[in-house]
Amino acid sequence: ETGVTQTPRHLVMGMTNKKSLKCEQHLGHNAMYWYKQSAKKPLELMFVYNFKEQTENNSVPSRFSPECPNSSHLFLHLHTLQPEDSALYLCASSQLQGDEQYFGPGTRLTVT
């Protein structure tokens, strides 16, 4: 595998479920990001990890919980989501913050 991969590509979950999104980068990068992209809204930065340390949390509700066990993997744990959380969730990585970011294909999440 090359680049940035995300699994699953599609996810449907009820409001009481717990699920996790996975992101893996094969580029040797040191920074990883979670973004939310909703229809007709700008790209929203959710979390930033730099050298495995969380450096940014853009006022994201606690029902979203990130985890970065090593510099190659990033997870987004989801629980008790709301229908308005339905969106495309994108993971990205970069060598350092400020460098160009490389994006995964995204996970299309639908909350019912």
Which of 36, 20, 32 shows the shortest CA–CA distance to 72? 32
**Site string (24-63) toward another protein, x via CB under 8 A:** -------x-x--------xx-x--x------xx-------
73 interacts with another protein by CB under 8 A? no
- Cβ proximity of 88 and 107 under 8 Å: yes
Distance, first Cα to last Cα, the chain: 32
Among 21, 92, 109, 111, contact with another protein (rule: CB under 8 A): 92
Stretch that binds another protein, among 12-20, 63-71, 78-86, 93-101 (CB under 8 A): 93-101
The residues facing 75 across adjacent strands are 22, 67
| Site size for another protein (CB under 8 A) | 27
How many H helices and E strands in the chain?
0, 11
Q: For the chain, how long is the longest CA-to-CA vector?
A: 38
Among 74, 81, 90, 109, contact with another protein (rule: CB under 8 A): 90
- Interface with another protein (CB under 8 A): 4, 6, 31, 33, 42-43, 45, 48, 55-56, 88, 90, 92, 94-106, 108
